[in-house]
Amino acid sequence: MSKRPPELAVEGLTKVFPGTRALDDLSMSVEPGEVHAVLGENGAGKTTLLMILSGVYAPDSGRVLVRGEEVSFARAQDAQAAGIGTVFQEFSLVGRLTVAENVFASHLPTRWLGVLDRRRMAREARELLRTLGSELRPDRSVASLDVGERQLVEIAKALSLRASVLLLDEPTSALSAEEAATLFEVLRRLREQGIAIVFVSHRLAEVFEIADRITVLRDGRLVDTRRRDEITPDDAVRLMVGRELSVLYPGRTEETGPARLEVRGLRSGPVGPVDLVVHAGEIVGVAGLRGSGRSRLVRAIVGAERRDAGEILVDGSAVRIDRPWQAVGRGIAFVPAGRMEEALFPRMSLARNLVSTCLGLVTRLGIVRAAAERRLAERLVRRLGVRARDVEQLVQTLSGGNQQKAVLAKWLALEPRVLVVDEPTQGIDVGAKAEIHAILRELAEGGLAVLMISSELPELLGMCDRVLVMANGRVRGALRAEEATEEQVLALAAGTAGEEAA
Ligand SMILES: Nc1ncnc2c1ncn2[C@@H]1O[C@H](COP(=O)(O)OP(=O)(O)OP(=O)(O)O)[C@@H](O)[C@H]1O
Ligand SMILES: [Mg+2]
């Protein structure tokens, strides 16, 4: 028996928000050198727990102990001073600052007389990023980074405080498989150094890869804490959702209709030329490593990126789309990756966000009719199973996964013919994921053409009819998802397999 107290412990922690008991009498501990995963459905209280541990929220009751000593954090800096570093679910970086400035934002290194030591800052930032397996230049502005690179900067920032506890809230949801593997190497090194790590993720496979112990929360309460070898992924799902969950992926559409979306000779910067067709009733996935051009491709299709050449056809007619709002008018709805930043108005109600794409339906003479807005919003909330107190709740107070559902719901309000989705289930719990998969399939069966990007290969293969694999800006192959294996996709994505047609 070790005499050493846990690095971090909570006892009887309770946090109440208006209308929600986000945490309810929660007790758990994290040992030094342990990766402790926290699992739970969207809204289970995972982020709230991390917010309390990092000094952002004060608990209503209960205690937090660091190495056996009770602590009380008035501000985030107090938690940092106690050695708790956090990587939040929503990014906290400042776009107009550089990578190095962001990493050291809370404790800029200075020389005598308080002069900022830029050279040291750049050097230390570079070293930190290297330990994360990244060659990112410290002088780049964060605004110019893609979402994966930003996540790495977030992690470097949390590590820069020489933390003995590292809290990670869905750190891989924006990372590719190989970036996640790099992160896990880093986490293993940190674990060997005795750092206590709390790891929140909806990706069960990676939880079972990295965690030493797993705690499951439901409705803010502890369901169980188990050693990894005492729990299976199926057990974890059952504990999380409180019921058996067998079907992760719906069946496939029997017959597809005519070509609904056609892309011919599309070029956008380094991407292209690309030709592709998505038929009515079909779900086509786009796979590829980071930098393969898959995001750029779909963004160029919907007018969110400049197009240098090529034609877009919807239902056989060429359409002009230079801006995303034009795509909407042509029946193409685009759900971008990432939640709050691009897709929602965080300080507005859920209802207003949901109707924002189709204000025409609920306004008369330019005035929003509250009853119509509420009716439409409630219908969408029911359809997608968004969990909210009511439709007047501010979007920024919804849990992360429910924000993602809100984004999808708001685009469905438009009743599009083509749905383009980038990482539609990022940050979504297993139960809700299965619901979203079913919704996407149902939309396809109703005649929609769906084009989707996902970094999760099992999801692409489980969901899609065909998967296009991109590498270096080109489509390297198209596979029938039902028959394809992850290895085939990865080989094409890495450029080690020849062209293949489906
Ligand atoms: N600032 C807030 N005001 C009101 N309610 C809140 C606030 N923050 C969180 N909640 C509510 O508390 C509950 C727990 O939310 P939390 O963000 O901790 O969930 P989570 O487990 O992290 O979910 P997800 O997997 O979706 O990220 C939810 O019902 C959420 O709507
Ligand atoms: Mg969360």
User: What is the predicted pLDDT for the residue at 53?
Assistant: 97
Nearest to 459 by CA among 244, 243, 173, 89: 173
CA of 28 to the centre of ligand 1 (A): 19
Nearest to 385 by CA among 428, 419, 415: 428
User: What is the predicted pLDDT for the residue at 336?
Assistant: 82
- Non-local (6+) Cβ contacts of 50 within 8 A are 86, 88, 167, 169, 198, 200
Nearest CA to ligand 1 atom 3: 397
List the alpha helices (DSSP H) in 259-399: 294-301, 324-329, 340-343, 350-355, 359-362, 370-384
Eight-state DSSP code of residue 149: H
CA of 234 to the centre of ligand 1 (A): 25
Structure tokens that stand for 305 in this block: 């990126």
Domain covering 8-241: architecture:
3-Layer(aba) Sandwich (3.40)
Cβ–ligand 1 distance for 394 under 6 Å, the answer no
User: What is the predicted pLDDT for the residue at 501?
Assistant: 41
Cβ–ligand 1 distance for 479 under 6 Å, the answer no
Q: Report which bound ligand comes closest to the CA of 399.
A: 1
Higher pLDDT, 196 or 18: 196
**Cα(330)–Cα(312) distance, rounded to whole angstroms?**
10
Cβ–ligand 1 distance for 404 under 6 Å, the answer no
Cβ–ligand 1 distance for 400 under 6 Å, the answer yes
Q: Report which bound ligand comes closest to the CA of 389.
A: 1
Nearest CA to ligand 1 atom 1: 397
What is the mean predicted confidence (pLDDT) over 84-89? 84
- Integer-rounded Cα radius of gyration of the chain: 23
Nearest CA to ligand 1 atom 29: 43
Torsion-angle region of residue 302: left (phi > 0), alpha (psi -120 to 50) or beta?
alpha
CA of 48 to the centre of ligand 2 (A): 7
Q: Report which bound ligand comes closest to the CA of 218.
A: 1
Cβ–ligand 1 distance for 48 under 6 Å, the answer yes
Eight-state DSSP code of residue 5: P
CA of 46 to the centre of ligand 2 (A): 5
Nearest CA to ligand 1 atom 28: 43
Tens-digit pLDDT profile for residues 201-231: 988 889 999 999 999 999 999 999 999 999 9
CA of 312 to the centre of ligand 1 (A): 40
- Non-local (6+) Cβ contacts of 496 within 8 A are none
- Cα-based distances in Å from 471 to 134, 493, 500: 20, 5, 13
Model confidence at 107, pLDDT cuts 50, 70, 90, reads: low
Cβ–ligand 1 distance for 134 under 6 Å, the answer no
Is the pTM higher than 0.85? The answer reads no
**466-471/474-480 β-pairing:** antiparallel
Tens-digit pLDDT profile for residues 449-481: 999 998 888 889 999 999 999 999 999 999 998
Nearest to 250 by CA among 423, 425, 418, 439: 439
User: What is the predicted pLDDT for the residue at 410?
Assistant: 86
What is the mean predicted confidence (pLDDT) over 117-145? 85
Q: Report which bound ligand comes closest to the CA of 397.
A: 1
CA of 17 to the centre of ligand 1 (A): 9
Beta strands in 121-250 (DSSP E): 165-169, 196-200, 213-218, 221-227
CA of 400 to the centre of ligand 2 (A): 5
Higher pLDDT, 63 or 118: 63
Cβ–ligand 1 distance for 44 under 6 Å, the answer yes
Residue 253: phi, psi to the nearest 5? Answer: -70, 135
What is the mean predicted confidence (pLDDT) over 51-73? 96
> Cβ atoms within 10 A of the Cβ of 68, count?
10
Nearest CA to ligand 1 atom 7: 397
3-state SS of 404-437 is: HHHHHHHHHCCCCCEEEEECCCCCCCHHHHHHHH
Cβ–ligand 1 distance for 431 under 6 Å, the answer no
**213-218/196-200 β-pairing:** unpaired
Cβ–ligand 1 distance for 396 under 6 Å, the answer no
Cβ–ligand 1 distance for 399 under 6 Å, the answer yes
User: What is the predicted pLDDT for the residue at 299?
Assistant: 93
Q: Which CATH superfamily is domain 258-331+416-502 in?
A: P-loop containing nucleotide triphosphate hydrolases (3.40.50.300)
DSSP track, 217-231: EETTEEEEEEEGGG-
Cβ–ligand 1 distance for 46 under 6 Å, the answer yes
Q: Is the pLDDT of residue 111 over 70?
A: no
Nearest CA to ligand 1 atom 17: 399
DSSP track, 239-276: HHHSS----SS----SS--SEEEEEEEEEETTEEEEEE
Q: What is the mean pLDDT of the chain?
A: 87
> What contacts 24+ positions apart, CB below 8 Å, involve 361-367?
361/413
* Index of the ligand 1 atom closest to the CA of residue 46: 21
Cβ–ligand 1 distance for 43 under 6 Å, the answer yes
**Cα(66)–Cα(135) distance, rounded to whole angstroms?**
34
Tens-digit pLDDT profile for residues 136-159: 899 999 888 876 688 778 888 887
Nearest to 24 by CA among 60, 73, 68, 50: 60
Tens-digit pLDDT profile for residues 308-339: 999 999 999 999 998 888 888 889 998 887 65
Q: Report which bound ligand comes closest to the CA of 40.
A: 1
Nearest to 198 by CA among 42, 11, 10, 50: 50
Residues of the chain with CATH 3.40.50.300: 8-241, 258-331+416-502
CA of 123 to the centre of ligand 2 (A): 33
Nearest CA to ligand 1 atom 18: 45
